[in-house]
Amino acid sequence: MDIKAVDVKVLRDEVGAGFMDCKNALIEAKGNKEEAIRILKKKGMAKAQKKSGREATDGAVGFVISENRQEAAIVEVNCETDFVARSDAFSDFLAAFARGVIAKKVTNDDISQVEVDGKPIEDARHAAVLKLGENIQVKRGQYLDGSTESGSIYGYSHGSKISVLVLLEKPDDQLGKDIAMHIAALNPAAVTEQDIPEKILSDERAIYQEQLEGSKKPQEIMDKIIAGKLKKFASGLCLYGQPFVKDPKETIEEILKKNKNHVKTFIRFALGE
């Protein structure tokens, strides 16, 4: 059957499959576009499922921030190779996924209800597998709401491997970028000492306790030593206690005080963590 190139183009624009795949589907469907779409979906799903069994250890993290800086999403999508991770098509899918996370306001690990460019996330993932030729896995996404805090959200990415969102109390473009860059570099565990998870502190306390066993020091002295060590540990672990990566003479807390600002919260994603 003679299939016109214009018909192949129309089908290709609609489903995103390759030129020859579209032509062959139209031939098999005897020129019926709807039947050709059904054929392509059936074959494409089988291909996608086969590729989805392959290991996806590369990929990228990234974010999208709304124009008013009141909403944002940070996401991770995995693929098989760095070559695909650096492609425009993969970047477009990553951004579309992030916009979907914002739309659904996903604040936990449940991304199953997210839509990507109007498609259910699993359908969009299958389409990405076919388009990119690799296993694509949508790993995680998190929404950040700045509207309730009346703050402004800023972001920084170190290539495609580390991304950060930070919510400032007041708008400040340069400060927001600097703080996000610092978080990307030094990976603080929390904003302030009070925010550090107790599990981290208790594990560190146990290490100090073990180090002092057999020292024959009175318990009250050991308690003071441990408290001092924990204070120093917590200060270096939290954002506010860390020396600013661009100017270590000042801590983040001192810089924020100087600018009369405050970090409400932050989110840091590193690829594969």
What CATH number did the domain enclosing 78 receive? 3.30.479.20
pLDDT(185) > 90: yes
First-to-final CA distance of the chain: 53
Among 99, 123, 145, where does a domain finish?
145
**For a pLDDT cut of 90, what percent of the chain falls above it?**
45
State both tokens at 89. 């098509």
Q: Both 38 and 86 in a single domain?
A: no
pLDDT(46) > 70: no
Beta strands 152-158 and 119-120, pairing class: unpaired
Name the more confident of 1 and 142: 142
Q: Both 41 and 66 in a single domain?
A: no
Domain presence at residue 17 = yes
pLDDT(47) > 60: no
Q: Do 163 and 214 form a contact (C-beta atoms < 8 A)?
A: no
Q: What's 171's DSSP letter? A: -
Q: Both 63 and 131 in a single domain?
A: yes
Strands, E assignment, 147-246: 152-158, 162-168, 243-244
Establish how many alpha carbons lie within 13 A of residue 223's alpha carbon, considering only the half-sphere containing its beta carbon. Answer: 3
Q: Both 24 and 66 in a single domain?
A: no
Q: Both 10 and 67 in a single domain?
A: no
- Total domain count, the chain: 2
Name the more confident of 185 and 224: 185
CATH number of the domain bearing residue 41: 1.10.8.10
Domain presence at residue 130 = yes
Domain presence at residue 194 = no
Domain presence at residue 104 = yes
Query: Average pLDDT in the 234-254 region?
Result: 89
Among 145, 172, 199, where does a domain finish?
145
Among 96, 118, 145, where does a domain finish?
145
Domain presence at residue 97 = yes
How confident is the model over 128-166, as pLDDT tens digits? 888 888 888 899 999 999 987 778 999 999 999 999 999
Domain presence at residue 239 = no
Q: How confident is the model at residue 42 (pLDDT cuts 50, 70, 90)?
A: low
Query: Average pLDDT in the 204-221 region?
Result: 74
Name the more confident of 247 and 203: 247
How far apart, in Å, are the Cα atoms of 144 and each of 103, 113, 217? 11, 17, 48
Predicted local confidence at residue 15, as pLDDT: 63
Q: Both 111 and 124 in a single domain?
A: yes
Name the more confident of 127 and 68: 68
Domain presence at residue 128 = yes
97 lies in which domain range? 56-145
> Which long-range contacts does 62-65 make (Cβ < 8 Å, 24+ apart)?
62/91, 62/94, 62/95, 62/98, 62/157, 62/160, 62/163, 63/98, 63/155, 63/157, 63/163, 63/165, 64/95, 64/98, 64/99, 64/102, 65/153, 65/154, 65/155, 65/165
Tokens 């390759």 appear where?
Answer: 18
Which range is least confidently modeled, 7-21, 34-48, 103-117, 228-242? Answer: 34-48
Q: How confident is the model at residue 209 (pLDDT cuts 50, 70, 90)?
A: confident
How confident is the model over 80-136, as pLDDT tens digits? 888 989 999 999 999 999 999 999 998 766 888 899 988 899 888 888 888 888 888
Predicted local confidence at residue 54, as pLDDT: 57
Q: Both 65 and 132 in a single domain?
A: yes
Q: Both 76 and 99 in a single domain?
A: yes
pLDDT(18) > 80: no
Predicted local confidence at residue 53, as pLDDT: 53
